[in-house]
Every structure is written in C-alpha cells, then in structure tokens.
Structure 1
C-alpha cells in the first residue's frame, strides 16, 4: 500500500503549541504573499502581449506578417519564432541563475531582505520593458524581472511556511498561489483592454508590473522577519518577541524550544547543499527539490498560461476572443486556488494531487481529440468545438489550480528540515525555473511540429506524475515542520533509506552526547 503514514502523530511537544490569528500575522501573510502577484502578473501578461499586433509589428515584424497571412486559420506554426519565445523564457533563465545568490541572501540576511530585493529588481525590469525601443532592451528588462522572480520565489514560500501555525500552514502557504492566480487574472483583464489602445497598449501592460513590485517593497518595510530565520541568525530575543506577536500569546515555550533545537541542528551542518545528498534527506531531495517542481512544469500548465492567447488565435479565434478566453481560463485558476485553500488542511495534499491528476489527464485527451479532428492547415475551428475546447482547458486549469499549482510550492517548503531548508528551497526554485524556461522556449515549436500530439504528451507525463505521488509522498497535512522527519521513518518506501547508518543519526547522537556532557 502506497502512502504509508498519514499526518496524525506529530509529536508530544507540537500538541503544546498555542496561539491565535492576529492582525500582525494577517499583515505578514498579505505582504509576504504579494510575491506571488509578481510571478502571476508576468505569467499572464507575456502571452497577451506577444499576441498584440502593435507589439509584434514593433519587435517581430516577420511573425506579424505570418500571423496576418493566416489570420482566420488554424496554423500551429505562425507564432513559432525562437526570438519571440526568448522574450518569455529569458526571464526564467535569469531567475534560474539568480536563485543561487538568493539562497545565500535568504539564509544569511533573512527572508524579508530577499523579498524586498526581489521587488526592487522586478520594478526596474518592468520600467525598462515599458520603455523598450528594441529587442535588447526587452531582454535586459526580462532578465531583471527574472532576478526579481528568483528572489521572490525563493523567499516567499519559505516565509509563509515559517510564519504560519502548523494547523493552517497549508492554507496560509497557498496565499502565494492565490496571489499568483490573481496576478494572472489581472494581467489577462488588462491585456484585454490595452490591446485596443494603439499603438502603445502593450507598454501599459508591461509597465503596470511596477505596481505589485512597489506594494511588495513598501510592505516589506513593515514586514516582520520569521522567528525561524531570526533563530537561525542567533537573534533569540528578537525571535521570541516576533513569535509572541505573530501567535498573539506569551505561551510559546514549546514552539520556541522546537525552533531552537532545529536551529542548533542546522548550525551543525556546514554544507547544506551537500547535506541534501545524505540518505536522511533523500526523500526531500527526490520529492521536494527535484520531482515536484519538475513535474509542476511538465504538466503543461504554464505553457497554456504563457501562450493562451496565442494558442486560441492559432486555432482561428480573433485577437479579442482569444484574450477573452484567457480571462476565463485564468478565472478558473483563481477558483481552483480558493478551493484548495479551503480544503487542503482537511482533505490533505495527496487527495488533491490524485483527484486532479485524473481530471487533468481526461482534459488533455479531450483537447487532443478535438484538435486531431480539425487537424490541418487552412481549417477554421467551428464555434461549437471552440467552446468545447475552452471548457476542456478550463477543466484542466481548475484541477491544476487546486493541486499542482499551490501544492507544488507548499509541499517542498514544508518538508525540508531547517538545516537544509534554504538550500532545498533554492533547488526547488532552480528546478522549477529551469523547466519553466525550457517549456516556454520549446512549447510553440512543439505545438508547430507535434500539433495535437503535444497534449497527448502532457497527458502521459501527468500519468507519471500521479503515480509518483501515489507511491512516494506521505500525507503532510497539519504536521509541524520540525516533526516532518517522522513521516519518512514510517513511510513504506523511505523508512529503509533514512534509517541507514550514515543517514545523519550519528550527528544527532553526537549532539545528544554533547548536551548530556554539558548537563
């Protein structure tokens, strides 16, 4: 039987945690989660802008001419241009590189500094993109946006996981995904209106990204650092004060002791990236740092988000209709995120992953069948099939919205121990951005050459993803981060790996021996 332990046994000390929802905690969550709006706005705005005629005429005239030649036809290849896709993917390649610096800053100076630094970089990138007069300026702006995304995606999920009480950590962490979805929706709505503002509407779409960046930076000034990070930096008194404010009570002894013990174990680790390779951290490495972030992108979701207007136009819809369809799909993404927030700590992570897998596979097959029936150049997609296509994509999107979208960030951020958390989250972001960039760069070419087969490919990958979850991921709902190691010790597969002699148990025994000697 797969799955093994279900998160009920969370340790005696965890049962002593006290606290309530405070205004201080709510402020921290709102400001911290704004990082998702940056990521989401860019996901939504890129595809819309690259389908605007004014933008294409200015920077990609050959693509514009090809588009006009097949204006009302199904032509999968009319947007296939590597420089055009580089406009989208360059941000994620830059984010990939910046992740390594973000990991150091997040660990050394705290989550708050990384969040604010990411906001500054994103603001500058948006400003340059809005004023761009050539492709070089576009790419430079995208690189700065990517650096901002790299820092934000590194720090925000960590921040939300660490600031949240264990019982509602799932819902709180999903604020990142919710604001990401809202950012996508806002971007699609803005694109729908700016597409009508000739010839500068695309500049407004790109420039408005400065708004969430400004809000995140200003909010960051008032943002408290997480108690976990302060303990990690040796600021115990300040950490205790923040923990009491966030929890709304002075009775935080049990939780504070857990934080200190986790920090002591973390300080004993001199090389966190190397420590990830130890058998005791093998589950976190395979599931959290590699598997989930890679599969999140291989689901094909971001391809749909990047290029939804382009996809719909390639299938014969007009510019306005394609942008309107994008608004519908992004609304489904917001709906999915809201559903996930309301049930994730009740139904659990595994249930949402597995149910959504079935729904996403079915939707991709339906999309592939529709496109196969109307396969070929020169054919116009009938209105009834176009409606079914949009419904199928919406069904896929809403399932992703309550599963791989939010849980792809939540589960990795909650399973790493403190000693490898910053390094682990760095790998999560790195792997995520690598596959995001690769898919963004290749998807339009894949659509051109594979046509409907690209959706069959994604369906097959989702089958593999779902089996991966069923076999290897235990339930993590309501399990305190400091107690997460108990899951692997009781899991049917991982228990034999984490219990190996070099799994880190020797380090623990040495710490216990030192503590006994001091006493």
Structure 2
C-alpha cells in the first residue's frame, strides 16, 4: 500500500494522518460551506430589525416590502446557484467548484457588510445566495464520493449538522450582539462573520483530495487509485470500489452522451423523484416554524422577548436532533426514517392546530404550543432533513450526478421560498387551520415516500445507479426495494 504521507497527485495536502483523521478533515473542510449556509439563512432574522432603521441611524430604511426583497434575494440566488453549480461540478470537478463558491461566499458576505444602500444589498445577498445554493448541491455529492458505502450515511449527514449549527450560531450571535452592543449598525458586524467559514473553505480545498469517482469518470485512473489508497484501509475495499467505478465509467462512455442521457425516461423519472423529495422536505412546513415561531407563540399571549428567545430553543433542538440522526442513519434505512419522521410531523401539526384552536390564551397554551413545535423540529431534523441531503448525494448516476443534484436542490430552494412566502398570508387567511393544511400535505408526502422511494442503505453508488435504472426504466414494474 502507498505510503500514507505521500501527497496525492491531484494537489491535495501531504498531511500525515490516519484514514479516520483524513475523513474528519475532508468533511470538516467541505462542510464549512454548510456552516456558512446555516449562518447566512439564520442571521438575517437578527439583522433585519436594525436594517429597517433610517439611514441616519445606521440602517437601510427598509420597508416591509424591501425586507422581503432582502430576505428572498438569498433564497432565489440559492436556487440558481444550486442549478449552475451542478453543471460546473460535472465539468470541472467537485473540489474546484467548492473553491470557487468559497470566493463567492467571502465576496457576498463582504458586500452585504459594507452595502451602502438597498440595491447593492439585494445584489450582494443574491451573490451570497448563489454560493449558498451551490454549496448545498455540491458538498453532499463531494462527501458521498469521497466516502465508501459504510461511511457515506454518517459523513454526508454531518452536512446537515453544520447547517443547523450555523443557524444556532446565528441566533446566539444575534442575541449576544443585541444585548452587549448599543451600536445601531451592529447588523453589519453580524453579517461580516459569514466571511470566516468562506475563508476556511477556500484554504481547506488546497489540502483535500479530489473526488475519486470524478477522477475515474475523467479517465484519470492512476490518480483516483492514489486518492483511494489514502481514504481506505482495506486493499480489498479499494480493489472492489475501483472495479465498480471503472465498470461504471466504461458503461457511461459506451452509453449516450450526457445531453442525450438527460432525455432518457428513467433519468427524467429519477429527477422527478428528486424534486418530489424536495417537496417532502420543505412542505413539512419546517421553515414556517423556523422563521415564524415568535409569531405563532405571540398569538398565544407570550411576550415578544420570550417568543424571540424560543428561537434559540429551535436551534438547540435542531442540533441535538441532528446528532441523533447521524447515529440513527447508520442503523436504519432511509425509508423507515422518513416514514417515522413524517408520521410524527403530521401528529404534531394536528396537535398544534388543536392547541391553538381549542385552548384559551394562557401560559399552558404557550408551553403546549412550544412543545409541539420542538417535537416537530426534533423529528424533522433527526429523520427527514439528514435523509433528504443523503439521498441527494446518492440517487443520481455519476455521468450527470452534478446536473441532476443541482436541479433537484434548486427545486428544493424554490419550495423553501414558496413556504416562507405563503405561510404568513395563509395564517392570516385561514388562521390555525393552516397547520391542518400542512398535515394534509404531509399525509400525501408519506404516501409518496412509501410508494416511490427505493431503499439505498448499504449499497455503493454504482449499485444504487443500477437499482435506479432498473426501478425507473420503461419496463420496470417491481415494488420499491426495502431492507
């Protein structure tokens, strides 16, 4: 076996580390993009109250409409970034894509920090969103291709852990700065901290290997083998994975070009499955709870300060639940976790609607409502969110993995924006019946997962590609595989 201190030919750093330490370092670097994603989506809730101040007081004089414009610019940028980055990562590789996105992370964060007016702020938030979306589609794929079948689930799930950790960090920073700083321009300090994970991601990409799957797809077999020797301890494991990757690459070269492959019916059906999983993940209403928990709790009579403080509880529960999800995802299949999570989500939405409709305003109503929200978030972040990102890293075939992942994740970002946009007027229009509507949508999501999603646990990426081709080909009639 190759000397583990020998630097990989793709330019990765020559770090004398064990295999476990290398995996930890690679995942830590890659998920700096996820940390930035979480921080950027969370910090705006703390910055907006100060950005609405007049320009003479250090704000941007935002109106309700321009508040929405500033907030949604990141989401729409994320959708485009996820889509474009899919093409870029297939053409130039996952690592180069992450390095480019790191530059945009820093540029966008710096631009929002020094933005002198609304127009520049919206443009910079869009650029930042482009990086956020690009990272959300590239990071899970990169980690999945670096990891083997045994490590893929827990390692990819760390992407979700870093997202919720970034959101929790944003909530804590917002609360701390609001209490400790009296400067009305503190929102600029809040936004400036988003540059740190971007800088760390950029530097880190010079010390991690390229994806061996992508290397094999490009015909660079010797370089891929040297990388694999640094990331696997068992020579038989290396031989098996390399053989599968080379066979997959041969079939891809003999098959239709990528443009023609995208027109094949099984690929279209697979993309629709990926988009359907975006609906499953976002139409749980998770972002309605994350963004609007204070509004929900204020309707129970809870004070403004206490309602805002509860948002930190959301962040803490999300982090704890993601840790639990990382453990669970190594022991349970994707389908059972999703079905369990959706079942509890439905129950909590029904319970929350009942609590808000049937109980009078009181502390008991506030606590029960908060309890429903926290249980909802726990099962959402333990069973649904990490499984979604894991599926986005493994469902699609190597030849068009970046493109399809980018397209599916872009659709997920549009679903995210739709829920965030629709929830306030929906709550105003139908009141607490909104939660029963979400419950009904999630019953449909539960049926979709039960009928359409094959099980992928324990399979290599090449085995999953074969499974998906058989499952969604024109003549496929078998039921989803379960384990």
SS at match of 1:474: coil
Whether the aligned pair in 2 keeps the contact of 1:283 and 1:488 (CA below 8 Å) is no
Question: Of residues 37, 52, 58 in structure 2, which corresponds to 1:56?
Answer: 52
| CA shift for structure 1 position 405 | 0.8
Of 242, 254, 261, which residue of structure 1 is paired with 2:240?
254
* Distance in 1 of aligned mates of 2:71 and 2:291: 8
Structure 1 pair 60/454, CA: closer, same or farther in 2 (3 Å)? farther
Q: How many residues align?
A: 454
Point out the more displaced range, 235-244 or 313-322. 313-322
Distance 1:337 1:24 in 2: 22
User: How big is the shift at 1:232?
Assistant: 2.0
Residue in 2 that maps onto 1:206: 191
CA drift of 1:311 comes to 4.5
Query: For structure 2, which runs of at least 5 residues remain unmatched after alignment?
Result: 1-17, 479-483
Q: Determine if contact 1:111/1:225 at 8 Å carries over to the other structure.
A: yes
Give the 3 Å change call, closer, same or farther, for CA 217–477 of structure 1 in structure 2: same
Rounded Cα–Cα distance in structure 2 between residues aligned with 1:495 and 1:264: 20
Structure 1 residues 29 and 488: alpha-carbon distance in aligned structure 2, compared to 1, 3 A threshold = same
Alignment of 1:292-311 (within 5 A): 292-311=277-296
- Summarize the alignment of residues 494-513 of structure 1 with structure 2, pairs less than 5 Å apart: 494=472, 497-498=475-476
For the 8 Å contact 2:83–2:134, the answer to whether it is kept is no
Per-residue displacement from partner, 1:336-373 (whole Å, max 9, x unpaired)? 21111112121111111111111111111222223334
| 2:70 matched residue in structure 1 | 87
Residues of 1 paired with 2:362 and 2:120: CA distance?
A: 40
Is the contact between residue 302 and residue 363 of structure 2 (CA under 8 Å) also seen in structure 1?
Answer: no
Tell me which of the two structures has the higher relative contact order, counting C-alpha pairs closer than 8 angstroms and 6 or more residues apart: 1
Q: Distance in 2 between matches of 1:133 and 1:319?
A: 30
Say which SS state the counterpart of residue 305 (structure 2) adopts: helix
1:61 Cα shift?
6.0
| Structure 1 segment 98-497 matched on structure 2, within 5 A | 98-196=81-179, 197-198=181-182, 199-251=184-236, 252-268=238-254, 271-272=257-258, 274-288=260-274, 290-313=275-298, 316-373=301-358, 381-488=361-468, 494=472, 497=475
Q: Distance between the aligned counterparts of 2:72 and 2:259, measured in 1?
A: 27
CA contact (8 A) 2:279 2:412 kept: yes
Partner of 1:68: none
Contact in 2 for aligned 1:195/1:202 (Cα 8 Å): no
- For normalisation by structure 2, the TM-score amounts to 0.87
RMSD (Å) for aligned C-alpha atoms: 2.5
The TM-score, its normalising length taken from structure 1, stands at 0.81
- C-alpha deviation, 1:34, in angstroms: 2.0
Structure 1 pair 489/238, CA: closer, same or farther in 2 (3 Å)? Answer: closer
Alpha carbons of 1:156 and 1:325: their partners in 2 closer, same or farther (altered >3 Å)?
A: same
Q: Structure 1 regions of 5+ residues with no counterpart?
A: 1-19, 64-80, 376-380, 501-519
Partner Cα distance (1:479, 1:346) in 2: 14
Q: 1:47–1:307: 8 Å Cα contact kept in structure 2?
A: no
Task: Check the 8 A contact 1:163/1:227 in 2, yes or no.
Answer: yes
